Structure formats: C-alpha cells, structure tokens
Amino acid sequence: MITDNLEEIRQRALKSIAEAKGLDSLNDVRVAFTGKKGELTEVLKGMKDVAKEERPKVGALVNETRDAIERAINEAREKLEEQALVARLAKEKIDVTLPAKKQEIGHRHPNAIALRELEDIFIGMGYEVVEGPEVEKDYYNFEALNIPADHPAKDEQDTFYINGEMLLRTQTSGTQIHEMEKGKLPIKMISPGRVFRADEVDATHSPSFHQIEGLVIDKEVSFADLKGTLETFAKKLFGDDTKVKFRPHHFPFTEPSAEMDVSCFKCKGAGCRFCKGEGWIEILGCGMVHPHVLEMCNIDPLKYKGFAFGIGLERIALLKYEIDDMRLLYENDIRFLRQF
C-alpha cells in the first residue's frame, strides 16, 4: 500500500536526518528523499497507479510527508549551522593583547595648533584673517606705525635689513597699515605671520617667530571694547575662570597702550614656575590705534577709532604645552612633534 510506504519513508527520513553529522550529510538526506530523484518523488510517480477517488487523499498524504521531512531537515540545518558557527568562532579566538599594527596619522606643529585655536576664536567673533608680506618696506614696519627714522624703538627691535628700504618685518603690525590703506571700512581682522628679530638662538629666543596682529576700526570703538574683546579671547583660550589684567604700557602706534596679563592657567593665580610665582602671565600688547597712524592711512580720527593688539604665538604655544625650550620648535624632532 502506498500509504504504508509513505509512513515507512517518513520514519526512515527522520531517522537519517537525526543521524546526519553535518550539513553535507544532511544535504545528502535531502537529495535522497525530497530531491528530484528522491524517494518521495518516486512515490509521486506511482500516483498513476492509485485509484482516481483515492488520489486526493494520497496526494495530501504525500505533501504532508514531504512537509514533515523538509521541516525536519530545516530544523536540523539550523541546529547544525549554529553548531558550526560556534565551532568556527571558538577556533578563531585570537590573543587580543598582541601589539597593535601602527596606524599613524601625522601631527601638526604646536605653533600651528595654537594658531588654529586662536584663529577659530577670532573668526567666531567675526574677524577676517589676512596676511602680509614678510619681506617688508621700512615705511610699513616703522614709519607708518609712528616710528620715524631716529626713533629709539627702531633700535630696540634689532631689525634685519636687506638694504635701507627693505627689511624683514620685526612685527606683524605693518599689516594694519596695509589693511587700512585698502580704504575699506570698517575693519575687523587678524593677521598671523612670521616675524624676524636679530636675537641669537637660545632656549627663549629665536631670530624668527610668529605674531598675530589684530585690528578693529569702526566709528564707535573704545578702549572698553578693546578690554572686552581681549578678555573674551583670553577666557576662550585659557578657560572661563581666567582673569585678565591690563597694565599701562607704551607702543608708538597705539595710545593709550596696554599689556595684558592673564591669571596663570596652570596655578590659577597662586604662583608657580610658569608664572614665576607671580600668578600672572603677560601674553599680549594692545592699545587704541594712534590718531596719527589713522591720519597717515587717510582715515579721519574724528570719525573713526580703532584698537589693535599683537600676540606672540610661540609664547602661547610654549606656555600652553609646557615646552621649555624654543629651539625644539625648529628642530622638528619627530619624538617632539608626536606629542601634539
């Protein structure tokens, strides 16, 4: 009887499935029973010998048998797959404490990092960044900044000269003049750049270093605005709890002039080796643009006022990153650069 035969096939198939040792032998079972030439397919071929009225019943029984076998195969496959995965994962265990394969991206120079930070602060306050020439004319480096030919300040700055007219700029302040001469007001700019002074190389001096010049020219600008701007800058750079102190000073191209100290960001003003026990660190010079400087740039000092400031980049970088020797900045030893 075909129905007995089906039951026997089912029993045998289930047994084979249960006995299958792996996915391959399970597949063999599938081929043997439900494959194109499998036993069940053969049974179906025998349907022609079944009585017509019996056929639907037998057909249903054949389908039921095949479903049962396929279900059993699927279940067995899932189980076997899971076992196989567990086995693979176990086999693939690695020593996660073996050393890393070095993936190194390069490092920015501490000067560049500090500069980026400063630029971002001022850009955030609406300042445009401009550049000026490093080989400069005497006029822009001195004369237009209220430092005439025989002014003692000219000696103080130990200028490198190319010849009488051309020199290596000793300060970025000349960019103030270049900007003002463009005749486009108001002005709100910072100008970072390389400057040069005839200082022998040692731990605290370099014949080449960097400044960031700042200039704001507008109709209503006051010394109070200068204070507010630089205080904001200091808090952004060194932290919100930073205090600032403005001390009177003298620069030929600003009047009144000031130097700004910040409360030592290492010791918070208590006194430490960074601030030489004073609790304060001098970080910049600033002042109201001298009316005479405005006049020389064809700006009417009765209509326009302005303030300017100059920050020593290396000073900030050395302090911030606790670098104790300026020479390191120009040696480019990779062991130094990697720390930034």
Partner 1 sequence: MITPLCWIKDFVPDLNCEASEFVDAMTMSGTKCEGYKRLDKNLKNIVVARIESIEPHPDADKLIVCQVDIGGETVQIVTGASNVKVGDLVPAVLDGGMVAGGHDGGPLPEEGIKIKAGKLRGVESKGMMCAIEELGSSRDVFPDAPEDGIYIFSKDSDVKPGDDAIAALGLDDTVFDYEITSNRVDCYSIMGVAREAAATFDIKFNYPKVMETGNNEKASDYIDVSIEDKDLCTRYVARVVKNIRIGDSPEWMKKRLRSAGIRPINNLVDITNFVMLEYGQPMHAYDLKTIAGNKIVVKRAKDGDEFTTLDGVVRKLDSEVLTICDGEKAVGIAGVMGGENSMITDDVKDVLFEAATFNGANIRKTSRRVGLRTDASAIFEKGLDENNAYAAMERACSLIEELGIGEVVGGRVDVHDELPKEKHIPFEPERINEYLGTDISKEQMLQYFSRIEVKYDEASGELIIPTFRQDLLGFADSSEEVARFYGYDKIPTTLPKDSAQIGGLPFKMKVEELASDVATSFGFSQGYCYSFESPQVFDKLRLAKDAKERAAITISNPLGVDFSIMRTIPLNGILTSLSVNFNRRNENVRLFELANIYIPKTDLPITDYPDERMQFVLGSYGDMDFYDMKGVVEEFIYKAGLKNRVKYEVSDRPYLHPGRQADICYDGTVIGYMGEVHPLTAKAYDMAKARVYVAVIDMPMIVERASFEPRYKGLAKYPSVSRDLSMVVPKSVMAQDIDDIIVQRGGRILEDYRLFDIYEGEQIEEGFKSMAYTVTFRDSEKTLSDDDIGSVMKKILNGLKSLGIELRS
Taking CB under 8 A as the criterion, which residues in 310-339 touch partner 1? 329-335, 337-338
Best CA proximity match to 160, nearest among 194, 191, 202: 194
Taking CB under 8 A as the criterion, which residues in 280-309 touch partner 1? 288, 290-292, 305
CB of 263 to partner 1, least distance (A): 13
The Cα–Cα gap between 208 and 214 comes to 20
Within 10 A of 313 (CB to CB), how many other CB atoms are there? 23
CB of 37 to partner 1, least distance (A): 37
Q: Which is nearer to partner 1, 89 or 105 (CB)?
A: 105
Written as six digits, the tokens of 245 are: 């102190």
Contact present, 290 and 254 (Cβ < 8 Å): yes
Taking CB under 8 A as the criterion, which residues in 85-114 touch partner 1? 104-109, 111-112
CB of 137 to partner 1, least distance (A): 8
List 135, 239, 321, 325, residue binding partner 1 (CB under 8 A)? 135
The yes or no reply on residue 178 touching partner 1 (CB under 8 A) is: no
The span of 9-17, 54-62, 68-76, 161-169 binding partner 1 (CB under 8 A) equals 161-169
- Max CA distance (Å), the chain: 129
Listed in sequence order, the residues at least 6 apart from 203 whose beta carbon sits closer than 8 Å to its beta carbon are 324, 325, 326, 327
Best CA proximity match to 236, nearest among 322, 120, 320: 120
Q: Which is nearer to partner 1, 127 or 265 (CB)?
A: 127
Give the rounded distance of the alpha carbon of 154 from its chain centre. Answer: 41
Taking CB under 8 A as the criterion, which residues in 211-250 touch partner 1? 216, 218, 220-225, 227-229, 231-232, 245-250
Size of the site for partner 1 (CB under 8 A): 84
CB of 216 to partner 1, least distance (A): 6
List 39, 62, 65, 127, residue binding partner 1 (CB under 8 A)? 127
Q: Which is nearer to partner 1, 70 or 134 (CB)?
A: 134
Taking CB under 8 A as the criterion, which residues in 32-91 touch partner 1? none
The span of 36-44, 49-57, 69-77, 252-260 binding partner 1 (CB under 8 A) equals 252-260
SS3 at position 84: helix
Query: In the chain, which ranges are E strands?
Result: 128-129, 135-137, 166-168, 187-196, 208-218, 244-251, 254-263, 280-289, 305-312
Do you know the residue count of the chain? 340
Q: Which is nearer to partner 1, 160 or 274 (CB)?
A: 160
CB of 66 to partner 1, least distance (A): 39
Q: Which is nearer to partner 1, 55 or 108 (CB)?
A: 108
CB of 68 to partner 1, least distance (A): 43
The yes or no reply on residue 277 touching partner 1 (CB under 8 A) is: no
Best CA proximity match to 111, nearest among 317, 315, 312: 317
Q: Which is nearer to partner 1, 62 or 260 (CB)?
A: 260
DSSP string, 146-171: T--TT-HHHHHT---BSSSSEEE-S-
Give the rounded distance of the alpha carbon of 319 from its chain centre. Answer: 21
List 78, 128, 202, 241, residue binding partner 1 (CB under 8 A)? 128
The yes or no reply on residue 122 touching partner 1 (CB under 8 A) is: yes
Q: Which amino acid is it at 1? A: M
Exposed, middle or buried by CB within 10 Å (0-12, 13-18, 19+), for 176?
buried
